[in-house]
Amino acid sequence: MKDNILVTGSAGFIGFHVCKDLINKGFNVIGLDNINNYYDVELKHARLNVLNKLSQKKTGGEFKFFKCDLEDKDKLALIFKENKFKKVVNLAAQAGVRYSIDNPEKYISSNLVGFGNLLEQCKRHEIAHLLYASSSSVYGGNTKVPFSEDDSVDWPISLYAATKKANELMAHAYSSLFQIPTTGIRLFTVYGPWGRPDMAPMLFTKAILNSEPIKIFNNGEMFRDFTYIDDVTDAIIKLLKIPPVNRNNNKNPENKELNNSIPYRIVNIGNNTSVNLMDFIEILEDELDKKAKKIFVKMQLGDVKKTYADISYIKQLIDYQPCTPLKKGIKSLIEWYKEFYKY
């Protein structure tokens, strides 16, 4: 009998895909999400409907859903107590760099208090592996590329990035104190079907289809490591199977200054390619057979010019190799978008 696995953020973009793949592989999934209104709640409910229908088939695992905030420590404690699982995938968080500038309290509550509550439950129930989402945002204004897990992440330029860095530090403390195996995944611009409407791939697709202008920041001098959702979920599920036994988030585990007995790691999940935003838009235009109306504006507060993942460590761990070309990934996104939104 396969394990029960808790996935928080199960109504979100990445959480939905992780749940779907786990169910298809025969795992029983306990999903948790607060269904907040940061973006369209109907999209979140539609994702949950897919998971519920999928779990009704006899070929895969079951899906059980709880509406819950991570900040609600009493309800969270009850979910842990009444559902037997030994692995946790934490993808619940208040997302968005720009939103954090005007709504800092939401990030402090969800990403710090909520994550602290989750760590406490993992400690009490002796969870065998906690895998949680960090972000490429922790690299801040680093100019050395590609970004490596060994690079300094002491200079966040948004509150969102600061909370993700704090999550890594909190996880390290619990791994050190209580020997909880934790894996933090630094994600790089994930895109694909069922994606987040507040991110550029979905925003641009919607605007171009509706003949509305798109804002292009830093006059187009922006570069992103676009990573297709299927490559990300495949990596997450493979990493979940191999909890860390030693601290090995750096490329030199023999470093005598570190306590290497701590079951803790940090891993980049990216595409190992940095794409100019203008090239990304051009592919969108080609696939939509329609030109975008472009408005060039200055760089936004808290944003970074370039992201680019060094994926040598994850290749070493799980033989990871992202296999979805950008053109193919964008085509899949557009096909889903037109079907879902009835274009």
Q: Are 298 and 215 in contact (CB under 8 A)?
A: no
Q: Are 325 and 183 in contact (CB under 8 A)?
A: no
Q: Are 52 and 65 in contact (CB under 8 A)?
A: yes
d(CA 338, CA 342): 5
| Minimum mean pLDDT range among 99-113, 178-192, 244-258 | 244-258
- Give the DSSP per-residue string, 254-308: T-TTS-TTS-EEEEEES-S--EEHHHHHHHHHHHHTS--EEEEEPPPTT--SB--
Evaluated on CA atoms 18, 23, 28, 34, the torsion sign reads positive
Interval 203-234: pLDDT, tens: 999 999 999 999 998 888 889 999 999 999 99
Alpha-carbon distance values, 289 to 8, 329, 337 (Å): 38, 16, 15
Domain map (residue ranges) of the chain:
4-187+228-270+307-323
Q: Are 116 and 170 in contact (CB under 8 A)?
A: yes
Percentage of the chain exceeding pLDDT 90? 80
Question: What is the SS3 assignment for 320?
Answer: coil
d(CA 273, CA 329): 14
Chain centroid offset of residue 105 CA: 21
Domain 4-187+228-270+307-323 of CATH type 3.40.50.720: yes
User: What is the pLDDT at residue 108?
Assistant: 92
Question: What is the SS3 assignment for 2?
Answer: coil
DSSP 137: G
User: What is the pLDDT at residue 80?
Assistant: 97
Residue 60's pLDDT band, with cuts at 50, 70 and 90, is confident
Evaluated on CA atoms 249, 254, 257, 262, the torsion sign reads positive
Q: Which residues of 254-277 are buried (b: 16+ CB within 10 A; e: fewer)?
A: eeeeeeeebbbbbbbbbbbbbbeb
d(CA 208, CA 290): 7
Where are the alpha helices (H) located in 7-40, listed in sequence order? 13-24
Which whole number is the average pLDDT over 69-82? 97
Which whole number is the average pLDDT over 35-44? 94
Alpha-carbon distance values, 10 to 48, 77, 197 (Å): 8, 18, 16
User: What is the pLDDT at residue 1?
Assistant: 56
Interval 126-154: pLDDT, tens: 999 999 999 999 999 888 989 999 999 99
d(CA 165, CA 1): 36
Evaluated on CA atoms 223, 320, 232, 167, the torsion sign reads negative
Q: Is 0.85 topped by the overall pTM?
A: yes
- Give the DSSP per-residue string, 229-256: HHHHHHHHHHHHTS--SS---SS-TT-T
Interval 63-74: pLDDT, tens: 999 999 999 999
Evaluated on CA atoms 190, 193, 195, 198, the torsion sign reads positive
174 is catalytic: no
Question: What is the SS3 assignment for 202?
Answer: helix
Residue 248's pLDDT band, with cuts at 50, 70 and 90, is low
Quote the mean pLDDT of the chain. Answer: 92
Catalytic residue, from 38, 99, 107, 160: name it: 160
Beta bridge partners of 318: none
Which whole number is the average pLDDT over 236-257? 74
Residue 310's pLDDT band, with cuts at 50, 70 and 90, is very high
